[in-house]
Structure 1
Amino acid sequence: MNTERIDLRLANEAWESLMTAHARLTAIFASESMWQEAAMREYDVLYTLAKGDGPMRLCEVQDGVLLSQPALSRMIDRLVARGLLHRETDPDDGRAVRISLTEEGARVQRETGRAHAKSVGRELGAALSPEEMRDLRALCGKLASRPERDS
């Protein structure tokens, strides 16, 4: 553990800055036209599944999105009904379900993802140098890789 005294004010200012930037960028991205076939939160689910190595259990998908388990289950039901996801029984555990992209879901994820990637590049590229983007990636990766603490 860091033995230096933690500057609580600085930590909270950094946190507020991170959250404000996230909210601002999310609002910009949400207002764009790429979300016609999949809303932003739906895209998060499609993207998480596209990053995975084959079908995923619900808990694995939940690790990649900012949704509660009940909200994610309802969204997956809607995406299955729309033909974007496939649900199957887990061959290793008959009580569990595995979820994967259908061909149509993969297409929507790719097309939406391309447009979204251009928007991310435009916004971050307008505000940060390549070195600053590398620093941001490293800092956020460091925060994300910290082990979870029990309450």
Structure 2
Amino acid sequence: MSAKIESPVRLAAETWEALFRAQVAVMRRLQAGPAFKSLALNEYDVLFTLSGCPSGWLRQNELNDHVLLSQSSLSRLVERLEKRGLVERRPAPDDGRGVLIRLTDAGRELQKTIGREHVRDIAALVGPALTAEEQRELLRLTEKLRASVASR
């Protein structure tokens, strides 16, 4: 009996597809959960990203680097969040075209509230599927892949 010979290209493609399909399945389940009844997942992603800014302010183009939205979609989403009182915008002082964004107190509180429930939902999905050792290995591998892609 001969071993199946697998090309590196095919293996990479199958690995990527498996990772992508798993991510889509998890994201769909999380989006349908109770944590995202008051705020869409992509809106939460913006609040979450802003919550991690040490200065409180982040340039909109830098925010765009961290979320999975086009620049125009992000601009419209930020406008909606601003109308809801969850973020505020101001012109960048050193760049007339730049825009700075930060969470309002209401945005910070909503992010924390949703975040606590979101983390519990993630644990409820991932915990039964993967052992703690498998979770650490998946974390190591995905961080390694992201670092490799970012360095290119």
How high is the TM-score relative to the length of structure 2? 0.90
For 1:3, the equivalent position in structure 2 comes to none
Which residue number in structure 2 is paired with residue 27 of structure 1?
28
* CA apart distance, 1:126: 0.8
Instruction: Identify which of 111, 114, 131 aligns with 1:129.
Output: 131
CA distance in 1, matches of 2:66, 2:123: 21
Q: What's the counterpart of residue 93 of structure 2?
A: 91
Which stretches of structure 1, 4 residues or longer, exceed 3 Å deviation after superposition? none
Do the aligned residues in 2 keep the contact of 1:37 with 1:108 (CA within 8 Å)?
A: no
1:46 and 2:13 aligned: no
Cα displacement (A) at 1:31: 1.1
Secondary structure in 2 aligned to 1:94? coil
Q: Superposition RMSD on alpha carbons, in Å?
A: 1.5
The 5 A counterparts of 1:1-151 are: 7-53=8-54, 54-146=56-148, 147=150, 149=152
CA distance in 2, matches of 1:93, 1:31: 40
2: CA distance, partners of 1:116 / 1:41: 13
Letter in 2 for 1:93: D
Gaps of 5+ in 1: 1-5
Q: Distance in 2 between matches of 1:59 and 1:138?
A: 28
* Paired-residue identity, %: 41
Look up the equivalent residue of 1:30 and give its one-letter code. Answer: Q
2:97 partner SS: strand
Post-superposition Cα deviations, 1:44-73, rounded to whole Å, max 9, x if no partner, equal 110111112220001111111100000000
Q: TM-score scaled by structure 1?
A: 0.90
